[in-house]
Amino acid sequence: MSFIDRMIGRKKSAGSAKERLQLVLIHDRTDLTPAELEALKDDLIEAISRHVDIDSAAVRISVAQDGRSQRLVADIPLRSASRRRSR
Amino acid sequence: MTATVLTITSGKGGVGKTTAVANIGVALASTGQKVVCVDSDIGLRNLDVVMGLENRIVYDLVDVVEGRCRLRQAMIHDKRVPELYLIPAAQTRDKSAVSPSDMVRLCNELRPECDWVLIDSPAGIERGFYNAIAGADKIIVMTNPEISAVRDADRVIGIVEAEEKGSPVLIINRLNSAMVKRGDMISVDDVLDLLAIKLLGIVPEDENVIVASNKGTPLALDGKTKAGQAFQNIARRLMGEEVPFLDLESQGLWQRLLGRK
């Protein structure tokens, strides 16, 4: 990486290699494509919404790495009951 | 004697498996251990030339498996160290000439004969790879700090674990610390983060590796080169010694002293 690269804040290639590898390895290890993950998210929102009121736009689904095993992490914000009443 | 059988594999080709087997073999044998190196890359044999023993081949791995010779007859003695032997691969056959159960039998026959059996695996995850790991007690996965090699290493680690061969250990080969320093090569810590297995050794990029294979004299025969020293350290760790990973091997000493990453 040259001085000029550094001055204009161009990204170091090792950093992008690591980021790209992280994503590729999650896919390789779980056989789960981003599209499938999106479909899973929609199904989850639908199922959970039948029981509680959730903020579906803020739902986040990701695959986290824990050593050599993968963990599906869902962050599903609930709407508070008081807000629901006031609506 | 009851040998430990180690298989060196990588998924991707060209990361330095054969060089590693030759050098770890030489390094272990230099300490007085009895070592048998086995080239399991049938059809693409190379360990013989890297070790400089290509002119002494009479029998090969397939001859042993098919019963055309006794095990001892196929073991070529490397006379530069007391007890180092090579069982070469057959060059005119293919991977199907040997089965995983043949390899298990071969390893069981070799175990009482020596302290270490080092198996050089072919690249890929096909038949030859399964042959190479079949009889192993421990698997060493080798990678380079480079995106495709790390990806393939991850795949191989997954298969080794699924085959219930235990968690493999990792050698990172061809680390260029100047490139790591300027942010253009994935660091040792990054690779360990991604692959999440135990580190066995770090081998710096070293032109002497090519010079040594040109001559057929593995670097670890004398420990003066950086890579030769790294392979000697790996051998010592295999024998149970605690050898620190050199600062020069991972990141710059100055950067470490200054606490910069």
ipTM of model: 0.84
CA B220-B11-B163 angle, 5° bins: 105
> How confident is the model over B118-159, as pLDDT tens digits?
999 999 999 999 999 999 999 999 999 999 999 999 999 999
Beta partners for residue A66, in sequence order: A69
Which is it for strands A69-75 and A60-66: parallel, antiparallel or unpaired?
A: antiparallel
> How confident is the model over B31-79, as pLDDT tens digits?
999 999 999 999 999 999 999 999 999 999 999 999 999 999 999 999 9
Contact indicator for B133, B165 with CB cutoff of 8 Å: yes
- Count of residues making up chain A: 87
Residues of B in contact with A12 (CB under 8 A): 182-184
d(CA B143, CA B150): 6
pLDDT of residue B177: 94
Radius of gyration (C-alpha) of chain A in whole angstroms: 19
Nearest to B186 among A14, A24, A68 (CB): A14
List strand residue ranges (DSSP E) for B61-219, in order.
76-78, 84-87, 116-120, 138-143, 169-175, 198-204
The domain in which residue B101 lies consists of 4-257
The token pair that represents B256 in the structure block: 């470490």
Residues of B in contact with A22 (CB under 8 A): 194
The neighbour count for residue A66, using CB atoms within 10 Å, is 9
The token pair that represents B2 in the structure block: 């009851």
Predicted confidence (pLDDT) at residue A53 exceeds the cutoff of 60: yes
pLDDT of residue A35: 87
Residues of A in contact with B182 (CB under 8 A): 1, 12
Beta partners for residue B77, in sequence order: B85
Residues of A in contact with B146 (CB under 8 A): 17
CA distance A80 to chain B (A): 39
Predicted confidence (pLDDT) at residue B189 exceeds the cutoff of 50: yes
A28 touches chain B (CB under 8 A): yes
Inter-chain contact A1–B182, Cβ cutoff 8 Å? yes
Question: pTM (2 decimals)?
Answer: 0.87
DSSP-based three-state secondary structure for B76: strand
The residue written with tokens 């290699």 in the block is: A17
Mean pLDDT of chain B: 94
The token pair that represents B194 in the structure block: 């991604």
A23 touches chain B (CB under 8 A): no
